[in-house]
Chains A and B, each alone.
Chain A
Amino acid sequence: MKLLLVLVLSVLSGCYALSNPQGAAQSVKMIDLKTQTYKATCNGAVEDWPNCYDRAKQTCPNGYNLKERNQSPVGGKRELVFQCNK
């Protein structure tokens, strides 16, 4: 149990020292200007689908229409393709 405590504290202090949340945020990319279609990614061990949905909400103040939800286990890849409401 002591080992676990030491491990957790070490990890947390290390993570704090290495923290750079702004630089770690993943992207939203416009893939069609005419139809206002975007692709949000939320890959990896830390991010998950809620991050993709949050990005869709932030990108489209008037709401959005979900076009595709792609997930691949090859690298923890998650992609949300959405179209902003006008």
Chain B
Amino acid sequence: MVPVATFRNIAIGQYIPGESMLHRLDPRTKIAVTLLLVVGLFFIDSYLGYGLAALYIALAVLNSGIPARFLFRGLKPVIIIILLTFALNSFLTEGEIIWQWGFLSLTKEGLYKGGLLAVRLILLIVGTSILTLTTSPLALTDGLESLLRPGRRVGIPAHELAMMMTIALRFIPTLLEETEKIMKAQMARGADFESGNLLQRAKSLLPLLVPLFVSAFRRADELAIAMEARCYRGGEGRTKLKQLAFRPADFFVLAGSGVFIVWLALVA
């Protein structure tokens, strides 16, 4: 169990506010380019291609002004996977043996392939974390709604989805505080959340869950009443305080990155 004291300091999300060009780009542009990059990286098949892609990502990082340590922090949980990918491929790919120890044989082809896959993983993780580092979850939600809007015709509830996500994001800090408060209250009454086997712990969590759920659903009820009292009736004709604006810079970034990534994927 996470100690109650540290629970408060859990950072939600990775977004780092800033004023760079990358921060100010339309979220739709950034989502589109990131998706293209994720797919594009899979088609690249050479170190030269990955070098160019790395250069492109480095340029984006420089522009965003995000300290490199935040990017490396994102890599930390996957470092084992990256190393394992590299090692497995290096030793288990058949080819020209350069070094042998027992049944393990390091091959030239394996080193090449393992390195390529490791670089691909690193670029994927760094490339996608730029999006969440420079774009707030709310902006991403707005962008997603706008991108999904054409799907309304085939039944994708773009507005409802975005509304629910916005509400969820707004509720996270409130419910976090509530959780902490209830945990402390129950601990003051002698509740023990931290010992026993799996089943005992599950049972001991009931005094936390029941009040938490009841209060959360009561809040939901109050919000629904408040929304209906203000005549909320779905997405048709709703306006926004902050309109998304697709500016010339977005056009250049989208067109430039699009052409570059497609070229990389097909040629390099």
Q: Are the chains A and B members of one assembly?
A: no
Mark B residues whose CB is within 8 Å of A: none
Residues of A within 8 A of B (CB): none
